[in-house]
Amino acid sequence: MAALSGKSAVVTGASRGIGAAIAMRLAKEGADVAITYSSSPERAQQVVTDIGEAGGKAIAIKADGADQAAVRAGVQQAAKEFGKLDILVNNAGVLSLGLITEISATDFEKALSVNVRSVFTAVQEALQHMPDGGRIITIGSVNSERMPFKGGSVYALTKGAVASFTKGLARDLGERKITVNNIQPGPVDTEANPAKGPFADTMLGLMALKRYAHADEIAAMVAYLAGPEAGYITGASLLIDGGFAA
């Protein structure tokens, strides 16, 4: 029997990249998966189709991470579809770069809304539908621990916030045996930050392993934390960064 057979999951921001890889891996492990997206219905549907063709079950739900009412409604819709939610993966995020003297208040508020508020909102709503022993996993960033270049202060702020939130939330939910963990990737080969993109030489120069991660590697760590063997891991921020923070 697959490790996540009989489980249901929500993965936010999963129409592409790391989120899509996570959704595919959780489905491969036997979970029914709901993915949310903000502006790419065709890509979201392709993820659903790919999961279905591989023998899994998935649905796509439009829910912009900047719209807290939409985030809450999306989690509710997934819970209604599956009857419960065993796993919440907070993957949706935005990268806001700019010197602190130049970044706009609008960009700052969007970064807070998507990277921090939507995590709070999704967690709060998911807990209304999550049985004891559930899993909450957030995709943070190595930049919560190391920001080696200019212009990343706001991004680091938001990722540091979810790392701290993870610790407090683990305490809140320990009696329910719900584990709460934060995965902190380094550079990952995606459309937003390709391994051969303009920042690649700089990133590789900061790493012990001179390569970008594959999205499937992040998904594998998520699947482990979501599974039965990780029941004693909670309140942790786990690096998967090729030695970026070493």
Q: Which residue ranges make up each domain of the chain?
A: 8-237
- Report d(CA 35, CA 61) in Å as an integer: 6
Show the CA angle centred on residue 116, arms to residues 220 and 124, nearest 5°.
Answer: 85
pLDDT of residue 56: 97
pLDDT of residue 1: 76
- Report d(CA 71, CA 92) in Å as an integer: 10
* Cβ atoms of 181 and 234 closer than 8 Å: yes
pLDDT of residue 30: 98
Active site positions, annotated = 155
**Count of positions (residues) in the chain:** 246
- Give me the phi and psi of 34, to 5 degrees please: -105, 130
* pTM of the model as a whole: 0.97
CA distances from 234 to 164, 171, 204 (A): 12, 9, 30
Q: What CATH architecture is 8-237?
A: 3-Layer(aba) Sandwich (3.40)
* Strand 179-185 to 135-139 pairing: parallel
Strand 236-240: give its sheet, edge to edge: 58-62, 32-37, 8-11, 87-90, 135-139, 179-185, 236-240
pLDDT of residue 17: 96
- Report d(CA 160, CA 28) in Å as an integer: 31
Mean pLDDT for each 10-residue chunk of the chain (246 residues)? 95 97 98 96 98 98 97 98 98 95 96 98 98 98 96 97 98 98 97 91 95 98 98 98 97
Separation of CA 168 from chain center: 18
- Report d(CA 55, CA 183) in Å as an integer: 27
- 3-state helix, strand, coil split of the chain in percent (to 5) is 45, 15, 40
pLDDT of residue 75: 98
DSSP state, residue 78:
H
231 CB neighbour count, 10 Å cutoff: 12
E strands present in the chain: 8-11, 32-37, 58-62, 87-90, 135-139, 179-185, 236-240
Q: How many contiguous H segments (helices) and E segments (strands) does the chain have?
A: 8, 7
